Amino acid sequence: MKKAFKWIGIVILSLIIIALGTAFYLNSAAKSRFAKKYDIQPRAINIPTDSASIASGKNLVTAMCTTCHGDDLGGTEFFVTDDLGTINAPNLTPGGVGKTNSDLDWDRAIRHGIGGDKRPLFIMPASDFQYFSDEHMGQMIAYLKTLPPVESNWVLPKTTLLCNILVQTGAFGDVLNAETIDHNAPSHTAPERGATADYGNYLVKVGGCRTCHGPELNGGKDPNPEAPPGPNLTPGGSLPSWGEDGFIKTMRTGSTPMGKDLNGEFMPWKSIGTLEDDQLQAIYTYLMSLPKMETADLSK
Ligand code: HEC
Ligand code: HEC
């Protein structure tokens, strides 16, 4: 009897040591990914100064950046929990990052996911933004430089042991976009603006709709476990019955023609809804040009 207890004790102790060793290994592997330096030199692009270009930059930045960086782009707490840590989306105005950022620093952050100090940015969706054309990139940088300064300070990401383990096991998906972007790829081009499927496809790509609505847009899930599922946006979902006007109204008001209020914490309709009519028409036209697909089974 005594011998059996001794063996059970040894087994339990070994399991604890293995678990601690695994946690230690995952934690330090994640830490070294966060600490890696990416030495890349984006190609110089033209930064326009005319008011039409700056207005176009404002249109894109408002739709694509305010959800996380705040309506005045002065930054937000973004994600703060005891379990996972503090991940702020910093102040982009001249009161923050904009004070010291060069044009190349902006490009490095937005299309490459690399911070001014060469570290990989956490969560910042550069994998989507890498599809911005040089022209749109220049317009956005031009606008960002005109922002009125907001005085606010946000801290660099502080992640907990649990968060590091989850990052390392891939539970959050691709959250260090600098790792997967091809930093030497030639710039992407943008189709001409208009209510076309082609231009809609471009907005859906840079807008990151697939992150939450699935790689085929027939339903998906935000990496955040608290998020509701992202519905099917292909003709297999509800969108055909809404019509283009119903879709535009949903993006502007956050409630669907079926009377459902979209949860703005998880579906960024407020920022997407700042796109102009032709842009939302383009997105709808693109979505309706997709093959009609059954809603993805997310339980798998
Ligand atoms: C899904 C949320 C999200 C969206 C959308 C987003 N960002 Fe970020 N961004 C972040 C987070 C979080 C950080 C902080 C990452 C870090 O410090 O590791 C960040 C960091 C940055 C930085 C800081 C770079 C540095 O040197 O520290 C810049 C610049 C930036 N974002 C610009 C933009 C612009 C411009 C847009 C729109 C085109 C945008 N972001 C959209 C979440 C987002
Ligand atoms: C950060 C995650 C996220 C991103 C990015 C995102 N969505 Fe969503 N979306 C959601 C979630 C979650 C819902 C469901 C909200 C709810 O149930 O309250 C939703 C709902 C919708 C709906 C309502 C569909 C229905 O059948 O009720 C439409 C339309 C939509 N999104 C379009 C888009 C488009 C277009 C884009 C890209 C420009 C986009 N979304 C980007 C998470 C996202």
pLDDT bin (cut points 50, 70, 90) of residue 288 is: very high
Q: What is the CA radius of gyration of the chain?
A: 22
**Tokens 């930064």, located at residue:** 47
CA–CA separation, 70 and 78 (whole Å): 9
- The greatest distance separating any two alpha carbons of the chain, rounded to the nearest whole angstrom, comes to 86
Model confidence pLDDT, tens digit, residues 170-187 = 988 899 999 999 999 999
pLDDT of 226 reads 84
Task: Answer with the residue of higher pLDDT: 192 or 4.
Answer: 192
For residue 230, report the distance from its CA to the centre of ligand 2, in Å. 5
Residue 300 above 70 pLDDT?
no
For residue 159, report the distance from its CA to the centre of ligand 2, in Å. 27
Residue 221 above 80 pLDDT?
yes
Ligand 1 pocket residue status of 87, Cβ below 6 Å: yes
Model confidence pLDDT, tens digit, residues 45-103 = 999 999 999 999 999 999 999 999 999 999 999 999 999 999 999 999 999 999 999 99
The torsion angle over the Cα atoms of residues 272, 278, 279 and 283, rounded to 10 degrees, is 100
Average pLDDT over residues 21-35: 94
CA–CA separation, 96 and 194 (whole Å): 35
pLDDT of 1 reads 62
Q: Contacts for 185-191 with beta carbons within 8 Å, 24 or more apart?
A: 185/130, 187/43, 187/45, 187/133, 187/134, 188/130, 188/131, 188/132, 188/133, 189/133, 190/132, 190/133, 190/135, 190/136
> Counting Cβ atoms within 10 Å, is residue 154 exposed (0-12), middle (13-18) or buried (19+)?
buried
pLDDT > 90 in the chain, percent: 91
For residue 287, report the distance from its CA to the centre of ligand 2, in Å. 13
pLDDT of 298 reads 82
For residue 262, report the distance from its CA to the centre of ligand 2, in Å. 8
Closest Cα to atom 25, ligand 2: which residue?
Answer: 231
Q: Which residues, 6+ apart, have CB-to-CB distance to 81 below 8 Å?
A: none
**Tokens 């330090």, located at residue:** 28
4-8, 154-158, 206-210: segment of lowest average pLDDT: 4-8
Q: Does residue 150 contact residue 74 with C-beta atoms inside 8 Å?
A: yes
> Counting Cβ atoms within 10 Å, is residue 267 exposed (0-12), middle (13-18) or buried (19+)?
buried
The two tokens of residue 181 are: 């972007």
Residue 2 above 80 pLDDT?
no
Q: Could you give the angle at the alpha carbon of 47 between the alpha carbons of 45 and 49, nearest 5°?
A: 160
Substitution candidate for ligand 2 out of 213, 245, 286 with most atoms within 8 A of CB = 213
Q: Which residues, 6+ apart, have CB-to-CB distance to 181 below 8 Å?
A: 111, 112, 113, 126, 127, 130
Closest Cα to atom 11, ligand 1: which residue?
Answer: 89
| Residue 287 Cα: closest atom of ligand 2 | 35
pLDDT of 222 reads 85
Q: Does residue 97 contact residue 91 with C-beta atoms inside 8 Å?
A: yes
Ligand 1 pocket residue status of 109, Cβ below 6 Å: yes
For the chain, what is the mean pLDDT?
A: 95
pLDDT of 153 reads 85
Ligand 1 pocket residue status of 202, Cβ below 6 Å: no
Ligand 1 pocket residue status of 30, Cβ below 6 Å: no
- For 226-245, give one letter per residue: b (16+ CB within 10 A) or e: eeebbbbbbbbbbbeebebe
Ligand 1 pocket residue status of 69, Cβ below 6 Å: yes
Q: Which residues, 6+ apart, have CB-to-CB distance to 126 below 8 Å?
A: 109, 110, 111, 112, 113, 114, 177, 178, 181
Residue 129 above 80 pLDDT?
yes
